[in-house]
């Protein structure tokens, strides 16, 4: 493994020194606060105790601990972390019962494969019988001792007898970290993708679209149709994210402790091609959930690519919409030429194909290949501006939808009318935003009635509103993870 400030081998003397410093800090915190102390480290075999991969596992553990304490209404009085070549450490002084805290840490250690790498010590403050404090054991709660993650025998026995070579322990540890983190990240990405679709349909009012107020210009779907559809797409978004994570570009997940794993030989464009069959199958699940109604076909395309792109980015880049959208662009490079090559008036079947031949409109393919400029330059900046100003989700979402309509050629509008009507709708949206970047509800409801009367529905713009929400969510969700 290449050497770095936190990725290099450490000596026994360094580890003993780190252990003594940790014990000293434990004594200081116990004396100062006189409350139970939770000390968190990682069980990492071998001379490499820290790396980008190990630190990601540690951050996941920090999140687990905080959520476990939050669920049980336990207050963290003091917290500090250490990130050194000798490993990651965290100290939590907690207001609560020490035995309950130990019970909660045991649940985390036994919950899944990543928990198997957690080393969670709970120490009670000094008392009459324990002048140095008391470290609680699993046996104090009647729980069995931890087992070896390779053979299942008692872990202490395997460790003391050195049953397994270090290389075997390193390979297993790296495999656990990679699999567990990829599983968690894919699940988180899919969760936020579904949340984005739910926010999109919930934003009210939305001219011509289904929302909480009415069905817009649609007669075959309503608000609940969209809820059913969004719920059905979680497995697909999870699969897209997993495929991106398996690519592992700059993610650090493919640098195992023993450095045996090789990055898969696959390009970003191949990653996109690998999404196409899952995307078609996802449409099947959407139609099953909606009794044959097309609610999210466009979102299956755009959000699926976005989930895969996020997965292919390093965790630190989840806070960078520019990086994610650039990855989307790289994934779909050449898509317009590939999908529209050989088109003639005689063989053009879809509305998108006919619009390309007639006007040169590339639709969502062209938008994605260009890195979704309407999202990057208009939609997302306005969303973040309005939310930072305290505008409601409805106010911000409705305004973002308008700015997307104003700056993008929405082929759904053309399909329901003609090119001139779409241009007029875009002009109206621009004028409304010039008067007020956050138009009033009354103005939006009037525009909604106008769109309904003309049978207009900006479905393509709605899909990109969901993309804006997704980029906003992943950015802020990742900030929380990185700041743990």
pLDDT in tens, 394-404: 999 999 999 99
Q: How far apart are CA 149 and CA 154, in angstroms?
A: 9
Residue 160 binned pLDDT confidence (cut-offs 50, 70, 90): confident
Mean pLDDT calculated for residue range 262-271: 76
Q: What pLDDT, on the 0 to 100 scale, is given for residue 179?
A: 92
Domain 12-164 is found in CATH 3.30.2130.10: no
Q: How far apart are CA 335 and CA 147, in angstroms?
A: 51
Taking the CA atoms of 226, 467, 379 and 406 in sequence, report the sign of the dihedral they define.
Answer: negative
Q: What pLDDT, on the 0 to 100 scale, is given for residue 56?
A: 92
DSSP structural state of residue 4: B
DSSP string, 393-440: HHHHHHHHHHHHHHHS--HHHHHTS-HHHHHHHHHHHHHHHHH-SS--
Residue 163 binned pLDDT confidence (cut-offs 50, 70, 90): confident
Res. 259: pLDDT tops 60 = no
- The predicted-structure confidence for 390-445, as pLDDT tens digits, reads as follows 999 999 999 999 999 999 999 999 999 999 999 999 999 999 999 899 999 999 99
- The predicted-structure confidence for 307-353, as pLDDT tens digits, reads as follows 999 999 988 899 999 999 999 999 999 999 999 999 999 999 999 99
Q: What pLDDT, on the 0 to 100 scale, is given for residue 4?
A: 46
Domain ranges (residues) in the chain: 12-164, 187-482
Q: What is the mean pLDDT of the chain?
A: 92
Res. 257: pLDDT tops 90 = no
Rg (the chain; Cα; Å): 27
Res. 2: pLDDT tops 80 = no
In the chain, % of residues over pLDDT 90: 84
Res. 483: pLDDT tops 80 = no
Q: What pLDDT, on the 0 to 100 scale, is given for residue 256?
A: 45
91 versus 255: the higher-pLDDT residue is 91
Tell me the three state secondary structure of residue 83. strand
Mean pLDDT calculated for residue range 227-231: 98
Close Cβ partners of 467 (under 8 Å, ≥ 6 residues apart): 196, 302, 303, 306, 372, 375, 379
Residue 1 binned pLDDT confidence (cut-offs 50, 70, 90): very low
Mean pLDDT calculated for residue range 33-57: 94
Q: What pLDDT, on the 0 to 100 scale, is given for residue 35?
A: 96
Q: What pLDDT, on the 0 to 100 scale, is given for residue 477?
A: 86
- The predicted-structure confidence for 71-100, as pLDDT tens digits, reads as follows 999 999 999 999 999 999 999 999 999 999
């Amino acid at each position: 493994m290449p050497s770095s400030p936190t990725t290099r081998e450490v000596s026994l003397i360094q580890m003993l020194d780190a252990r003594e410093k940790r014990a000293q800090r434990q004594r200081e915190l116990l004396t100062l606060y006189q409350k139970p102390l939770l000390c968190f480290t990682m069980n990492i075999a071998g001379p490499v105790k820290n790396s980008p991969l190990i630190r990601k596992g540690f951050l996941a553990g920090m999140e687990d601990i905080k959520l476990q304490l939050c669920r049980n209404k336990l207050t963290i009085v003091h917290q500090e972390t250490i990130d050194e070549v000798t490993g990651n450490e965290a100290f939590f002084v907690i207001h609560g019962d020490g035995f309950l805290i130990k019970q909660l840490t045991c649940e985390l250690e036994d919950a899944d494969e990543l928990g198997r790498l957690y080393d969670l010590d709970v120490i009670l403050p000094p008392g009459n019988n324990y002048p140095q404090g008391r470290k609680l054991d699993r046996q104090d709660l009647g729980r069995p001792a931890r087992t070896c993650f390779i053979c299942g025998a008692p872990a202490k026995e395997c460790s003391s007898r050195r049953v397994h070579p270090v290389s075997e322990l390193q390979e297993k540890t790296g495999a656990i970290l990679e699999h567990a983190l990829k599983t968690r990240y894919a699940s988180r990405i899919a969760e936020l993708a579904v949340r984005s679709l739910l926010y999109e349909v919930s934003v009210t009012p939305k001219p011509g679209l289904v929302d909480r107020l009415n069905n817009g210009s649609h007669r075959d779907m309503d608000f609940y149709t969209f809820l059913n559809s969004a719920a059905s797409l979680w497995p697909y978004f999870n699969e897209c994210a997993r495929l991106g994570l398996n690519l592992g570009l700059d993610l650090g997940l493919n640098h195992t402790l023993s450095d045996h794993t090789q990055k898969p030989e696959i390009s970003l464009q191949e990653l996109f091609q690998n999404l196409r069959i899952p995307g078609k199958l996802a449409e099947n699940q959407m139609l099953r959930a909606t009794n044959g109604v097309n609610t999210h076909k466009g979102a299956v395309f755009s959000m699926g690519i976005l989930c895969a792109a996020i997965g292919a980015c390093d965790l630190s880049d989840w806070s960078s919409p520019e990086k994610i959208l650039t990855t989307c662009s790289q994934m779909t490079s050449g898509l317009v030429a590939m999908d529209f090559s050989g088109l003639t008036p005689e063989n053009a079947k879809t509305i998108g194909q006919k619009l390309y031949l007639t006007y040169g409109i590339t639709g969502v393919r062209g938008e994605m290949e260009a890195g979704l400029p309407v999202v990057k330059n208009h939609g997302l900046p306005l969303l973040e501006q309005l939310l930072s100003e305290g505008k409601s989700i409805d106010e911000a979402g409705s305004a973002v939808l308008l700015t997307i309509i104003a700056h993008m050629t929405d082929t759904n509008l053309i399909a329901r009318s003609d090119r001139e009507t779409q241009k007029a709708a875009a002009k109206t949206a621009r004028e409304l935003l010039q008067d007020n970047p956050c138009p009033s509800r009354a103005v939006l409801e009037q525009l909604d009635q106008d769109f309904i009367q003309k049978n207009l529905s900006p479905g393509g713009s709605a899909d990109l509103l969901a993309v804006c929400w997704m980029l906003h969510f992943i950015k802020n969700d990742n900030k929380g993870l990185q700041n743990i």
